[in-house]
Amino acid sequence: MSETQTQINYIDWPKEIKKIMFVIVMEHEANDLISLINLKRDETTLNNPFLEGYTCEYNNKQVILVKPPIDPVYKVQSVSTEPASLCVYAAIKKYNPDIVISAGTSGGVKRKENPDLHLKIKDIVVAQSIQFFTRTIIIKDWEGYVAGKQYNLLNPKPLHQILALKPVIIGTDNSFTNDNTHAIEQGIDCIEMEAAAELRVCHLLNVPFTAIKIISDVEMDDPTERETLFKDFFVHGIKNLSIKLKEFLDDIDKIANW
Amino acid sequence: MSETQTQINYIDWPKEIKKIMFVIVMEHEANDLISLINLKRDETTLNNPFLEGYTCEYNNKQVILVKPPIDPVYKVQSVSTEPASLCVYAAIKKYNPDIVISAGTSGGVKRKENPDLHLKIKDIVVAQSIQFFTRTIIIKDWEGYVAGKQYNLLNPKPLHQILALKPVIIGTDNSFTNDNTHAIEQGIDCIEMEAAAELRVCHLLNVPFTAIKIISDVEMDDPTERETLFKDFFVHGIKNLSIKLKEFLDDIDKIANW
């Protein structure tokens, strides 16, 4: 892969942000924010198989939360990259937001190479880069494309400095496993299932994009302790994400003008 | 995975088909059909980052060919599932076709379990099922969803009987490798990079869908012979796909009323 293909393109935050769109795939992640800032279901998205929208006014800004609806065949929440791509595309066409933030949970990867990062459960992080990390291709021309890390990403520094979010390298995959081999090989800090796909859509539609994720669990020597902490996180920890997203909204003008 | 989650749902061909849409991702696959039936670039899709459309009238039917445009960052053809999902979604919204056919090349898998199939280079096949075949998930509820083979698929029998297409099990993956281990484990006959994603979009938008693919190469004992045949296919073999797609258009009323 050439250097040009791996370079990350940070873009500046728009100076004036009036419409903020969150993409949150999982219901339990979305529901906290919906109650916290009183988002209301947008009835024009009822029965749309790709887009479930919620909107509200908050501090004189329009806030939009979108998620892909429940899959009608399998009756599960529509995790993974294709539903996320379609949801973000349909949502941008409908709401025309100034920025898009992918929010949700993410698994933390324990890597010897990043001992300073020390990711812990409940840490809240911001994307310093996003890529697919398990895709491979035998044709050289497509190598950069299948990783897809070169699309425009909002500069993570304002969120690091103003909201104390840890900048991390996010890896997206359509599998959810306990095996972190590929992630470690690729230098990935956290793993989730949508961000790289959403990033491409936002780049192609010229909408500034970042991802804010909360760490749901980190690989541990004791799998029983890990399981206990993971379950506890979903009861007591996950609300910290929506609290931080509310802080983000409170500080949005400061962030935009950082 | 429960039996309900793995069942394939064949739907009947619509009795009257007036608008036929082909999705062809690769340029060299699309160009043959474009010249053969004289498709014209739809100028309203110029500069659309997700949709490049071509249309024509053929035998009193409207024929539409769509492809995802070249990726503007990596300057490569936009293979893989997310661009395909977005292209099909945008194209269905725009053209409202009666059926969608995913067409293109596919690698053949040599499996001991299907000696009767005998896939060879230039064979033209029709989907008897389509699924993602390398995705895994540690949560039982999502197992069927990540494979995604249960979305509505057009009954392959008319294309088998009228056009002599071989019915095959198609596997979709976002990686392109020489390693067929997963495909063999999952009982996959041919491998490509878009169909399972396109199938889901069509199911959710209630548009009948199938895939017609031409075999570009099959695993062989002699890798040099394989490489030679593969190269020869792209010079002399690939046009057979567009010839068969034209036959499909010629026979469409017979197929619909099979």
Q: Is B213 on the interface with A (CB under 8 A)?
A: no
Q: Which residues of A touch B45 (CB under 8 A)?
A: none
Looking at residue B110, its pLDDT comes to 83
Looking at residue A158, its pLDDT comes to 98
Inform me whether the pLDDT recorded for A112 exceeds 90. no
* pLDDT-wise least confident of A74-88, A157-171, A227-241: A227-241
How close, in Å, is residue B161 to chain A by CA atoms?
A: 29
Q: Which residues of A touch B175 (CB under 8 A)?
A: 134-137, 146
pLDDT 10s digits, A127-169: 999 999 999 998 999 999 999 999 999 999 999 999 999 999 9
CB-based contacts of B176, cutoff 8 Å, min separation 6: A136, A137, A138, A139, A142, B79, B193
Looking at residue A117, its pLDDT comes to 82
CATH number of B7-252: 3.40.50.1580
Nearest to A89 among B73, B86, B134 (CB): B86
Looking at residue A6, its pLDDT comes to 58
DSSP annotation of A13: P
Q: Is A2 on the interface with B (CB under 8 A)?
A: no
Q: What is the pLDDT along chain B (258 residues), one digit of tens a residue?
A: 444 445 788 999 999 999 999 999 999 899 999 999 999 999 999 999 999 999 999 999 999 999 999 999 999 999 999 999 999 999 999 999 999 999 999 999 987 777 778 899 999 999 999 999 999 998 999 999 999 999 999 999 999 999 999 999 999 999 998 888 999 999 999 999 999 999 999 999 999 999 999 999 888 778 888 888 888 998 899 999 999 999 999 999 999 999
- Per DSSP bridges, beta strands A166-172 and B166-172 are unpaired
Q: Which residues of A touch B202 (CB under 8 A)?
A: none
Can you tell me the distance from the alpha carbon of B235 to that of B217, in angstroms, rounded to the nearest whole number?
13
Q: Which of A230, A193, A185, A205 is nearest to A76 (CA)?
A: A193
Nearest to B138 among A151, A178, A203 (CB): A178
Looking at residue B6, its pLDDT comes to 59
**What DSSP string runs through chain B?**
--HHHH---EEPPPS---EEEEE--SHHHHHHHHHHTT-EE-GGGTT-SS-EEEEEEETTEEEEEEEPPPPTTT-S---SHHHHHHHHHHHHHHH--SEEEEEEEEEE---TT-TTT---TT-EEEEEEEEE-S--BSSGGGHHHHH---S-EE-SHHHHHHH-PEEEEEEE-S-B-S--HHHHHTT-SEEESSHHHHHHHHHHTT--EEEEEEEEEE--S-HHHHHHHHHHIIIIITHHHHHHHHHHHHTHHHHHT-
Q: Which of A109, A237, A232, A85 is nearest to A169 (CA)?
A: A109
Interface test with B, best of A9, A71, A134 (most B CBs within 10 A): A71
Q: Is A94 on the interface with B (CB under 8 A)?
A: no
ipTM greater than 0.85: yes
Looking at residue B196, its pLDDT comes to 98
* pLDDT-wise least confident of A89-103, A186-200, B188-202, B224-238: B224-238
Average pLDDT score, chain A: 94
CB contact under 8 A, B136 and A90: no
Cβ neighbours, 10 Å, residue A162: 15
Interface test with A, best of B75, B79, B86, B139 (most A CBs within 10 A): B86
Q: Is A240 on the interface with B (CB under 8 A)?
A: no
| Cβ pair B26, B78 in contact under 8 A | no
Interface test with A, best of B145, B149, B186 (most A CBs within 10 A): B145
Q: Which of B10, B14, B146 is nearest to A177 (CA)?
A: B146
At residue A110 the predicted structure's pLDDT band, cuts being 50, 70 and 90, is confident
Fold observed for domain A12-252: Rossmann fold (3.40.50)
Q: Is A204 on the interface with B (CB under 8 A)?
A: yes
CB contact under 8 A, B86 and A90: no
Inform me whether the pLDDT recorded for A113 exceeds 90. no
CB contact under 8 A, A142 and B178: no
Q: Is B5 on the interface with A (CB under 8 A)?
A: yes
CB contact under 8 A, B74 and A132: no
Chain A neighbours among B 161-180 (CB < 8 Å)?
A: 174-178
How close, in Å, is residue A37 to chain B by CA atoms?
A: 30
Nearest to B5 among A49, A50, A74 (CB): A74
Looking at residue A222, its pLDDT comes to 83
Cβ neighbours, 10 Å, residue A164: 11
Q: Which of A37, A83, A116 is nearest to A198 (CA)?
A: A83
Chain B neighbours among A 132-151 (CB < 8 Å)?
A: 132, 134-139, 141-142, 144-146, 150-151
CB contact under 8 A, B139 and A73: no
The residue of chain B nearest to residue A176, with distances taken between CA atoms, is B137
The residue of chain B nearest to residue A93, with distances taken between CA atoms, is B90
Q: Is B89 on the interface with A (CB under 8 A)?
A: yes
